[in-house]
Amino acid sequence: MKRDFVHITDFSADEIREVFELTAKMKTLVKEGKEYTPLKGKNLAMIFAKPSARTRVSFETGMSQLGGHAIYLSPNDIGIGKREAVKDIARVISRYDDIIMARLFDHAHMLELAEYSTVPVINGLTDLNHPCQIMADIFTVLEHRKHLNDLKIAFIGDGNNVANSWINLAARLPMHFVLASPSGYDPDEDILKNARNVGISRIDILRDPVEAVQDADVIYTDVWASMGQEAEAAQRRKDFMPYQVNRELMSHAKEDVLVMHCLPAHRGDEITDDVIDGPNSIVFDEAENRMHVQKAIMVKLLQA
């Protein structure tokens, strides 16, 4: 039975740990300049309905390092759900390629793609979630802290796709996850309810960013207007300005707090230059780890 990675919760806690072990092993091999090509002869189709830098480059480079090949399909190529039915695309690409990664707007399209594909589907972001990002994020936290015990994550900003995937992670690994957002920008209710029902993590939704960062190990932020929300950008800038991650907010956090951002960052909006370029920031380790973690996810799905 083929496996997909559409939500963090598609993996068990043990499987998440296995992915981290494989990631660490493969990252070391890259650093040592050693080849590891378990996906020789395999082809990855990458379907993009939205722009991307990290997701495209990390998947394409990662696939090449693994000995395989990646095909980039731009928003103009497929027109998923517009030019052609999602289920037809799923069935056609499954006849050519060994694995699919897609970045789509509508999460229902991602579910349909996974349902009708006969090869594994990896979610490279939808309006609802961004699981590969959060796998890379938590791996980066693990690298820096050496363990994930007593972890407090303070997510400052929009209860968006990235926040939703953090909450999904909290349904698999124990943590204290706090989201500080303005009223009206809460995360997905079902995802929150599920994670709270699983009951291994404490999840708080607050309005006060200063309260959120108290004793946090990680301060995390993301853009205030996600891809597809450009028309709301001006209103969101007003609503979110009190949630800017800046020197003042940092003064309420632990001295060694890790600062993370999935990127692209809107410098001067959700995060100031001095913080993103400052000593607490690990954003470029985080960006690099997208590639290492996704390589492990692809190997895991293809060797399942």
Catalytic residues: 262
Binding of ligand NVA at residue 102 (CB under 6 A)? no
Q: Using CB under 6 A, pick the residue from 117, 160, 164, 168 that binds ligand NVA.
A: 160
Dihedral sign computed on CA atoms, order 80, 86, 89, 94:
positive
Q: Using CB under 6 A, pick the residue from 222, 269, 270, 286 that binds ligand NVA.
A: 222
Site stretch for ligand NVA (CB under 6 A), options 22-30, 160-168, 283-291, 295-303: 160-168
Binding of ligand NVA at residue 217 (CB under 6 A)? no
Residue indicated by tokens 């994550």? 153
Long-range CB contacts (within 8 A, 24+) of 102-111 = 102/46, 102/47, 102/48, 102/49, 103/47, 103/48, 103/49, 103/50, 103/52, 103/55, 104/47, 104/49, 104/50, 104/80, 105/49, 105/50, 105/228, 106/81, 109/80, 109/81, 110/6, 111/6
DSSP assignment string, 148-170: -TT-EEEEES---HHHHHHHHHH
Integer CA distances (angstroms), 53 to 19, 30, 61, 240, 277, in order: 23, 21, 12, 25, 20
Q: Using CB under 6 A, pick the residue from 53, 200, 233, 304 that binds ligand CP.
A: 53
Taking residues 244 to 273 in sequence order and writing x for each that binds ligand CP by CB under 6 A, - otherwise, the string is ------------------xxx---------
Find the residue with minimal CB distance to ligand NVA.
226
Helix (H, G, I), strand (E, B) or coil at 69: strand
Site stretch for ligand NVA (CB under 6 A), options 59-67, 158-166, 191-199, 200-208: 158-166
Size of the site for ligand CP (CB under 6 A): 9
**What secondary structure letter does DSSP report for 242?**
G
Binding-site partner at residue 162 among ligand CP, ligand NVA, none, CB < 5 to 8 Å by type: ligand NVA
Size of the site for ligand NVA (CB under 6 A): 9
Q: Using CB under 6 A, pick the residue from 23, 226, 244, 281 that binds ligand NVA.
A: 226
Binding of ligand NVA at residue 22 (CB under 6 A)? no
Binding of ligand NVA at residue 294 (CB under 6 A)? no
- Specify whether the CB–CB gap between 117 and 100 falls below 8 A: yes
Quick one: which of 189, 203, 198, 206 has its CA closest to 153? Answer: 203
Q: Using CB under 6 A, pick the residue from 136, 162, 265, 291 that binds ligand NVA.
A: 162
Q: Using CB under 6 A, pick the residue from 49, 262, 291, 296 that binds ligand NVA.
A: 262
Q: How far apart are CA 293 and CA 161, in angstroms?
A: 19
Binding of ligand CP at residue 226 (CB under 6 A)? no
Binding site for ligand NVA (CB under 6 A): 125, 160-162, 222-223, 226-227, 262
- Judged by the rule CB under 6 A, the positions of this chain that interact with ligand CP are 52-55, 125, 133, 262-264
